[in-house]
Amino acid sequence: MRKGLLTCGLLLIGLATIILLQTSGCSAPDQEGAVMQSPVERGKYLVTLGGCNDCHTPKNFTPQGPVPDETRLLAGHPADATLPEFDPALVAPGNWYLFNSHLTAGVGPWGISYAANLTPDEATGMGLWTEEIFIQAMRTGKHMGTGRPILPPMPWQGLAEATDEDLKALFAYLKSVPPVKNAVPAPVEPGEVGGK
């Protein structure tokens, strides 16, 4: 009788192990599922992790704080927003960086930079960009891959480390968001900073 119980117990343990092994084996399809994401889905995921909306999406201001304005997703610094006056001495090297409340304009020793319109609007966004231009810009830190240096706080140095596949996915997602017409101002040189 005892022997029977022991065998039964051992059998049960064996069965539990098999079930455990099988359940851990079950995670394989999930991982494959993640790899099977479409480039647009992958790009959306990377945009979320990369915090692109923090700087590139204008905000709605709620009692809980600023939240991304979904109607202007990734549309960049609002063309009609004015920056409050400030003392340029505040942003001398080693002092402060200042940001507007949308977090779309940043002031520092580099002057004033305005987060770009990443939507596919042809006139004011990235509608005319090719995948090659996007990858080149993120890899080199040059505007459109060949122009002036891309200014802080755009974290292109981190994006330069991304795989080609991930940069392509980012671009595919950016091409998929609704186009928003919003002409972001050109950056302001350090010498001309003073509350524009």
Site for ligand HEC in 106-125 (CB under 6 A): 106, 113, 115-116, 118
Which residues have a Cβ under 8 Å from the Cβ of 44 and sit 6 or more positions away? 173
Does 160 engage in binding with ligand HEC (CB under 6 A)? no
Q: Quick one: which of 101, 111, 143, 185 contacts ligand HEC (CB under 6 A)?
A: 143
Task: Please report how close the Cβ of residue 180 comes to ligand HEC at its closest, in angstroms.
Answer: 15
Task: Please report how close the Cβ of residue 174 comes to ligand HEC at its closest, in angstroms.
Answer: 7
Q: Quick one: which of 111, 155, 179, 185 contacts ligand HEC (CB under 6 A)?
A: 155
Does 73 engage in binding with ligand HEC (CB under 6 A)? no
Which residues have a Cβ under 8 Å from the Cβ of 40 and sit 6 or more positions away? 169, 172, 173, 176
Does 169 engage in binding with ligand HEC (CB under 6 A)? no
Q: Quick one: which of 41, 45, 50, 139 contacts ligand HEC (CB under 6 A)?
A: 50
Q: Quick one: which of 39, 41, 54, 79 contacts ligand HEC (CB under 6 A)?
A: 54
Q: Contacts with ligand HEC: how many residues (CB under 6 A)?
A: 23
Closest C-alpha among 136, 126, 80, 88 to residue 109: 88
Q: How many CB atoms lie within 10 A of CB 98?
A: 18
Does 153 engage in binding with ligand HEC (CB under 6 A)? yes
For residue 193, what are its two tokens? 């900073």
Q: Given the complex with ligand HEC, which of 88 and 185 has the nearer CB atom? A: 185
Task: Please report how close the Cβ of residue 48 comes to ligand HEC at its closest, in angstroms.
Answer: 9
Q: How far apart are CA 140 and CA 14, in angstroms?
A: 57
Residue 91 near residue 108, CB atoms below 8 Å: yes
Q: How far apart are CA 92 and CA 109, in angstroms?
A: 6
For residue 178, what are its two tokens? 């609704």
For residue 43, what are its two tokens? 């790009």
End-to-end CA distance of the chain: 90
Does 177 engage in binding with ligand HEC (CB under 6 A)? no
Residues in touch with ligand HEC (CB under 6 A): 47, 50-52, 54-56, 106, 113, 115-116, 118, 137, 143-144, 150-151, 153-155, 159, 170, 187
